[in-house]
Amino acid sequence: MKDILIAGKYRVDRKIGVGGFGVVYSGTDLTSDEEVAIKLTFVRDNPEVLRCEKETYEALAGGVGIPRVRWFGQECDFYVLVMDALGPSLEDLLNYCDRKFSLKTILYIADQAIVRIEYIHSEGFLHRDIKPDNFLMGVGRQGNILYTIDFGLAKEFFDAERCKDVEGLALGGTRRYASINNHNGREQSWGDDLESLGYVFVYLTRGSLPWQGLKAGTDAEKDARIKKMKESLSAEALCDGFLPGEFVTYINYTRGLAFDDKPDYLYLQRLFRRRFRAEGFKYDHVFDWTEKLFKERQSQVSSAVPLTRRLQRRAPEESSTNVGTARQPRSSEKILEQTCS
């Protein structure tokens, strides 16, 4: 795909991801030299999916943490969606941070993720595929902002409401994070997005979920085994030894929502904000990956200077480097550039 131009101005550079409904490439806007994300899907494969996703992005345009659509159209055998480039996903960052986030980072993520989902719901949409891969950090001045992407399975609540009494629906989204209602063949609603988010929190602190790796002969059998385990594991069991009681409350609350129950998003936010303050954390926008990158860069700078020169720079009474005045790289910097390339 390299050196292919989209709409005469967007150059396709390299593949960065594959989804259920297309392939995502990193590209360049040749008129501004800005990096962009380019999603392509074959016209013959689910021709309306990318168009519907584009329309969802446009309906949500202007919301914090919603990427901007730059261009949509058909090029040869592809439908193409060009959007602003973003940073690494929470899945990428979890790998970078040795498969575990601290409580502070998870509380930061929870605060923003609930706000994103509330906004999507307030505009009349259900995401229906909440998972770490679909949350990305911004770049540049938006580097502290959590973005929500991939609305290929999104549905307007009005459409979902018409099917709320239908049973036996196929599992939608990603089974690992699917709600119990979703496993039971029921139409998804507001609470299902939030329940899936609860499993994301557990995954980000444990590094995996208890139902990962279950073996089965068919997909249907695997779905049934995962469903059975989810139903048998209480919120307390999921969080025990990993997350405080606020997350137990969150999961129990979201599991208990009926189809027509409108979630109290502010209540959920306040749960986590109280815990953040109780832990004595500072609102400094320093995530686990920010801190790790800073330490790595410190180490690189230190090792690049000969030991004798480093010793000579110290005042006689000093025994360690004063890092208090060193510039920490802002979490707005595009981190993991090398691992995401």
CB atoms within 10 A of CB 146: 20
Question: What kind and span of H or E run contains 325?
Answer: none
CA-closest candidate to residue 144, choices 199, 52, 65, 45: 65
Annotation marks residue 133 as catalytic: no
State both tokens at 93.
């960052």
Which one is catalytic: 29, 84, 92, 129?
Answer: 129
Length of the chain: 341
Q: H or E segment at 6?
A: strand 5-6
Indicate the pairing of strand 69-75 with strand 78-84.
antiparallel
Write 183-189 long-range contacts (CB < 8 A, 24+).
Answer: 183/223, 183/226, 183/227, 183/230, 184/227, 186/259, 187/160, 187/163, 187/259, 188/126, 188/128, 188/155, 188/160, 189/126, 189/157, 189/160, 189/164, 189/257, 189/259, 189/260, 189/261
- Do the Cβ atoms of 1 and 25 come closer than 8 Å? yes
Residues of each annotated binding site for ATP: 39
Judge whether 248 and 240 are in contact, CB under 8 Å.
no
- Residue numbers belonging to the annotated binding site: 39
Tally of CB atoms within 10 A around 153: 19
Task: Give me the residue label for tokens 């998804």.
Answer: 188
Residues marked as catalytic: 129
